[in-house]
Amino acid sequence: MLWIKALHIVFIASWFAGLFYLPRIFVNLAMVPPGSLAERQRLLLMARKLYRFMTPLGVIALALGLWLWLGYGIGLGPGNGWMHAKLLIVVLLIAYHAWCRRLLARFEQGQERHGHVWFRWFNEAPVLMLVATVILVVVKPF
């Protein structure tokens, strides 16, 4: 079980690296001056490659988490309300990941209208979810 737990943490950290950095690329894309096609194409290429890289990391992290939860019974039974809260955050992270794909598609089509300030705030969501998840898993407040 400890190997699965260790790998779960590694893949979660790797997935989060992508969730932290992709919106930063969006900030830069939102700041590209009109007519700067080369810069825009370079940033789009980076965003596409990062998304393709981080998606399998997230899938593996989720699979390992399911293995721990269902295979070893971690978080099952009474007194494990923290796990329900953590699972809610996992669902929110999956939705955030999918939202990033939608935003990337809008950038690719030239239809994204949010400004760089909006993306700076958007970039904070995974940080807050990571902090909440770590507190839930380590402290198990309920």
Q: DSSP string spanning 17-77? A: HHHHHHHHHHHHHHTPPTT-HHHHHHHHHHHHHHHHHHHHHHHHHHHHHHIIIIIS-TT-S
Locate tokens 């996992």: which residue? 90
Q: From CA 89, how far away is CA 20, in angstroms rounded?
A: 16
Q: Structural domain of residue 83, as residue ranges? A: 2-139
pLDDT score at 2: 94
Residue pLDDT tens, the chain, 142 long: 899 999 999 999 999 999 999 999 999 999 999 999 999 999 999 999 999 999 999 999 999 999 999 888 877 878 889 999 999 999 999 999 999 999 999 999 999 999 999 999 999 999 999 999 999 999 999 9
User: Is there a contact between 142 and 82 (Cβ–Cβ < 8 Å)?
Assistant: yes
pLDDT score at 73: 83
pLDDT score at 130: 98
Helix (H) or strand (E) holding 113: none
Domain count, the chain: 1
